[in-house]
A = this chain, B = another copy of it.
Amino acid sequence: MSAARHDEIPESELSEIYAFAIQLGKDAGTILLESLHERRRDDVDGEKQEIVEELVMEEKMNAVDIVTKTDNEVEEFIHASIQKRYPSHAFIGEETYSKGASKDYLVKNEPTWIVDPLDGTVNFTHSFVMFCVSIALVVNQKPVVGVVYAPLLNQLFSACKGKGAWLNEATKLPLLGSVGVGPIPKNAPSKCVFSCEWGKDRRDRPDGNLHRKVDSFLNMAAEVGGRDGKGGMVHGVRSLGSATLDLAYVAMGAFDIWWEGGCWEWDVAAGICLLQEAGGLITTANPPEDIQTSKIEDANLGGRLYLAIRPASGTLEETGRQGQERLVREVWRRVRTLDYTRPGVKA
């Protein structure tokens, strides 16, 4: 990173920013919900149904990536709100970034808002509940505030450095965190719920990302002893179509493991804050050369390769962190190296 290290934000200012981000997430989620309802407005008696507005879709990359009008509107709303309140802060939004030619990593050390106005766009266009808005503030490359709001699920995840991670501001459901989700199971990944995504790279090359992913999924799923000893017999395999929600669900312990390559900083910045404040661990998806002893370092925000492990309590035999690291190595042992390079960024 070229920029100098930026001063930490004082605690009192951070609290204000956190409250602002939560309200911004709620407002953005409301816009998403209104747009959804506008698309299919029903007569109350159910006699007739009118398509009020067709979605404007634009193909970005083969048939998978859809951009809706809503994405752009919500990003503009969030951007304008931030500019008004924090004019000195930098801003990176998924829509604005994607329109540019560069795939460079643009996050400097100064306070930078990283926003995905609508993650899970395909779900959104299908009225499937798994979509959300994701808002993060990153300082010195570390997410210090994270808000993920899935309005149709009525789930608002929020976290602020030093203040913990919360679900629906703790009014309705368990707060996120290491209390309550228990230690990492002894024979993990057995008994773990494994979250993964098929992604957009669907090229049918024997050594391409699609096959590397599917081989890895199979190793995680197959019976213990199968797949030449790599069988992980995970409890369940989940694919939601939203990296942001995958990560939020790992933070709350709904999933134990999320392993993914190919997504971007706006997909994970808020989720990383949630996960780390809850006591979870995030590192790179790609196994290092020495799986058993390699130091487990935090994932690079722009590295596009992520392995997240849920918060965990300790046992008499190991600390929570030791359990998590044991699981990281068990996952690395079963997954293949993915190929998502990026100019100037170390995976």
Contact = CB atoms under 8 A, between A and B. Distances in A.
Nearest to A166: B46
Contacts of A202: 221-223, 226, 231, 233
B170 A42 contact: yes
A237 B242 CA distance: 11
A203 B175 contact: no
Q: Pick the most buried of A223, A227, A231, A255: most chain B CB atoms within 10 A of its CB.
A: A223
Contacts of A42: 170, 173-175
A223 to B, nearest CB: 5
Contacts of A128: 193, 238, 249, 254-255
B235 A122 contact: yes
A193 B49 contact: no
Q: Pick the most buried of A49, A126, A233: most chain B CB atoms within 10 A of its CB.
A: A126
A183 interface: no
A198 B237 CA distance: 7
Contact of A227 (B122, B123, B204, B254): B204
A129 interface: yes
A233 B63 contact: yes
Interface string A42-62: 101010010100000000001
Interface residues of A, number: 60
Given A63-B190, A236-B241, A226 B204 contact: yes
A238 B123 CA distance: 10
Given A49-B175, A64-B235, A210 B193 contact: no
A238 B240 contact: yes
Nearest to A198: B237
A203 B174 contact: no
A253 interface: yes
A193 B126 contact: yes
A166 B180 CA distance: 36
30 contacts: A37-B173, A40-B173, A42-B173, A44-B171, A46-B175, A49-B174, A49-B179, A63-B190, A63-B191, A63-B235, A64-B233, A64-B236, A122-B193, A122-B236, A126-B193, A129-B129, A193-B241, A198-B221, A198-B237, A202-B221, A202-B223, A203-B222, A204-B223, A204-B226, A204-B227, A210-B221, A236-B241, A237-B239, A237-B241, A238-B241
Please give me the 5 A-B residue pairs with the lowest Cβ-Cβ distance, nearest first: A204-B226, A128-B254, A40-B174, A198-B237, A239-B239
Given A64-B236, A122-B193, 6 more contacts: A40-B180, A64-B235, A122-B236, A129-B153, A204-B231, A210-B222
